[in-house]
């Protein structure tokens, strides 16, 4: 079964740090980009970051630039989102999703994890 | 990067067709063939229903179809069913090599 499983969420004070993990199974992890997307309570989906297949390319949304770092280890079938200097407004469910490119485009974010909840509060 | 613009809500009766619009700019929707649509039921993870403007992943009903004209992409749901009641989000690649989502559309089946 193709799966992505996130973990690492929890309650943290403003200014604190968390490291989210996204563990893949059932497919060739190194063939896929990994995206992180978040959803604040009662709000819509917001893209956060993505990393390319070998980890050589990463992009971030403006609101996390300089605070969050995405990384991956293909030998461990795992991607991470290191979140520093957390703010109350970072409170959300964080999802990881995979995306595979093809010659003319991509197959979209076709598999998502179940999400992990991050709560930033004093 | 501003979110793509979607109507907050769309409704229709069972069997009808509805269309959800997703408006961006030439730097995202209008500039690339990389528009996706996602369906999300309450407390569930999003599900990909359309990728690269009009392609359906395996297993997705052909009642869902996508299109694009200029800076606006559209999702049409034909033969509306009660199970189609959910939130729908569009997403696009951008010229900054990032991704952007729409604000979401709540579909209600009357």
Model pLDDT for residues B59-78, shown as the tens digit of each residue: 999 999 999 999 999 999 99
pLDDT tens-digit map of A54-99: 888 999 999 999 999 999 999 999 999 999 999 999 999 999 999 9
Asked if residue B72 lies in contact with residue B53, where contact means CB atoms within 8 angstroms, the answer is no
Spatial separation of the C-alpha atoms in residues A24 and A3, rounded to whole Å: 6
pLDDT in tens, A28-45: 999 999 999 999 999 999
Quick check: B52 and A105 CB within 8 A? yes
pLDDT band at B9 (very low <50, low <70, confident <90, very high): very high
Query: Does A101 have pLDDT greater than 90?
Result: no
pLDDT of B91 reads 98
Residues of chain B contacting A110 with CB distance shorter than 8 Å: 48, 51, 57
Q: A105 and B102: CB-CB below 8 Å?
A: no
- Across the interface, do A112 and B36 touch by the CB < 8 Å criterion? no
pLDDT at B20: 98
Evaluate whether B73 touches B66 at the Cβ level (below 8 Å): yes
The answer to whether B46 faces chain A, any CB pair under 8 Å, is yes
Model confidence over B44-63: pLDDT tens digits?
A: 999 999 999 999 999 999 99
Residue B27, Cβ neighbours under 10 Å: how many?
A: 16
């Amino acid at each position: 079964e193709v799966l992505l499983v996130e973990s690492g969420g929890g309650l943290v004070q403003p200014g604190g740090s968390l490291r989210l993990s996204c563990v893949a199974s059932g497919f060739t992890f190194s063939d896929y980009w990994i995206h992180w997307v978040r959803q604040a309570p009662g709000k819509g989906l917001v893209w956060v970051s993505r990393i390319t297949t070998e980890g050589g390319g990463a992009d971030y949304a403006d609101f996390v630039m300089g605070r969050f770092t995405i990384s991956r280890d293909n030998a461990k079938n795992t991607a991470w989102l290191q979140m520093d200097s957390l703010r109350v407004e970072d409170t959300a469910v964080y999802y990881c999703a995979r995306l595979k490119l093809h010659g003319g485009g991509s197959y979209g974010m076709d598999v998502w994890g179940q999400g992990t909840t991050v709560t930033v509060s004093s | 990067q501003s979110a793509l613009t979607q109507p907050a809500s769309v409704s229709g009766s069972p069997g009808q067709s509805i269309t959800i619009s997703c408006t961006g700019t030439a730097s995202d929707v209008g500039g690339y063939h990389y528009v996706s649509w996602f369906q999300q039921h309450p407390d569930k993870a999003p599900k990909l229903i359309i990728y690269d403007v009009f392609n359906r992943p395996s297993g997705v009903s052909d009642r869902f179809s996508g299109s694009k004209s200029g800076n606006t992409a559209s999702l049409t749901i034909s033969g509306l069913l009660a199970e189609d009641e959910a939130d729908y989000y569009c997403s696009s690649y951008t010229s900054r090599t990032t991704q952007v989502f729409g604000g979401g559309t709540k579909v209600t089946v009357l």
